[in-house]
Amino acid sequence: MREYLKFYIDGQWVDPVTAKTAEVINPATEAVSGTISLGSAADVDKAVAAARRAFETWGETSVKDRLEILEAIQAEYAKRSDELGDAVVEEMGAPVGLGRGFHVGLGAGHLQTAIDVLKEFPFEQQKGASLIRYEPIGVCGLITPWNWPMNQTCVKIFPALAAGCTMILKPPQLAPYSAQILAEIIHDAGTPAGVFNMVQGQGSVIGTALSTHQDVDMISFTGSEPVGVQIQKDAAETVKRVGLELGGKSAWIVLDDDALAANVAGATGGMMGNSGQTCSAGSRLLVPASRLDEAVNAATEACNAVTVGDPLSDVAMGPVVSKSQFNIIQDYIQKGLDEGATLIAGGLGRPEGLDKGWFVKPTVFVGTNDMVISREEIFGPVLVIIPYEDEADAIRIANDSLFGLGGYVSGQDADKCRAIARKLRTGAIWINGGFDFHAPFGGYKRSGNGREWGEYGFHEYLEIKSIIG
């Protein structure tokens, strides 16, 4: 049983201003796995004051000094990587191979990328008669979600540290354990007091306090569209910068070629990863109408092959994060049935043999792009296959969405894939797989604004100054 009742403020583990706690539930067992404290606006005030004091010196540190801290954090992170992975398994139900593997690996990758970028980043550039300086924006409020807890915290913390900012992290209430261990890692690495602070608690309390605080210069938020909209409204009073990475309903276009069946199977399996709880998941699978039957067969076979069960065992998919999330997904599956979508795999209820835990059946529908299950982000292992007539029709369907976070194109002709990608109104597009920590990630339309990852993520935490003449 874990018990994390202190916050990390000004280089110390301190008691909350007021004693209020919440239980954390293991989504695989429905049992209480630990207790955390819930912070208040008063705790945020203390953390912001510490960050403001620390910024006076941290913001003036050299690249060499910041690199030394980041490399010390890297060494501590490596020592505790399995512990971080086990925390992710326990808090949000990721299978142990995924938790110790990709979840923790993403955090390590963002840390290494921040180190690499910092070594070469041009904080001063001469442009004609003017000197252009990139300076740290100041005190940052970082608000992160539960679905990829290490990815989403590390992609914010390490570029902000590298840029010379100080910060207050508000981790997700549903998945707080890995953030607690990460705070210990940052402390043990010798990070100066006040540079990094962490306050656990409810988003409506801690997030609001950060967004409205006059001494917070920037908010970086990853999460749902409605919360992102509220944060923008709250931050408007103090005219602070707001970076938002919000929801998605990404299209995965499979081209009409000899690799169609394999690409459909890959897209289906990819959708089920992390129990479908990925903002950029390819939840709309676009296939040629003339080969719909072939695509359906490939998707059905791939979906039925996804193993679901105890995340401590060798399975492909664990539970979703909570009872609330389980019920939301069940409601969407029912809506798909009510709308007349054709169910080809999965469906309502838990998988056979799983009577406890928030396990969802990997589910695939065939439908149309005007259905609710094709328009709204389900955030679970639910895929909708949508047929298209030709490539122009596929592009039209893909772009017919309020969201624009991710996109995928699979086909044997790489030039054709890139030509289609250029016409998609979305922030990141993966062609036949691929991965790059230096590629900017962020959304068009209601998927947010700003970019994270690599050098582009540094700019989120920097102001631009012109020294002219």
Q: What is the 3-state secondary structure (H, E, C) of 398-446?
A: HHCCCEECEEEEECCCHHHHHHHHCCCCCCEEEECCCCCCCCCECCEEC
Amino acid at 271: M
Tokens read off for 430:
């993966």
Strands (E), 15-113: 21-25, 32-37
* CA atoms of 377 and 224, how far apart (whole Å): 9
Compute φ and ψ for 352, nearest 5 degrees: -60, 135
* CA atoms of 366 and 199, how far apart (whole Å): 44
* CA atoms of 264 and 60, how far apart (whole Å): 51
* CA atoms of 23 and 227, how far apart (whole Å): 23
Tokens read off for 321:
């994060």
Q: Which of 245, 391, 455, 460 is catalytic?
A: 245
92's torsion region: left (phi>0), alpha (psi -120 to 50) or beta?
alpha
- What sign does the CA torsion over 96, 99, 105, 111 have? negative
* CA atoms of 431 and 276, how far apart (whole Å): 20
Tokens read off for 97:
């191979």
- What sign does the CA torsion over 392, 397, 401, 407 have? negative
C-beta of residue 149 within 8 angstroms of C-beta of residue 107: no
- The residues, ordered by sequence, that sit 6+ positions from 456 with a Cβ below 8 Å of its Cβ are 440
* 245 a catalytic residue: yes
Q: Which residues are annotated as catalytic?
A: 245
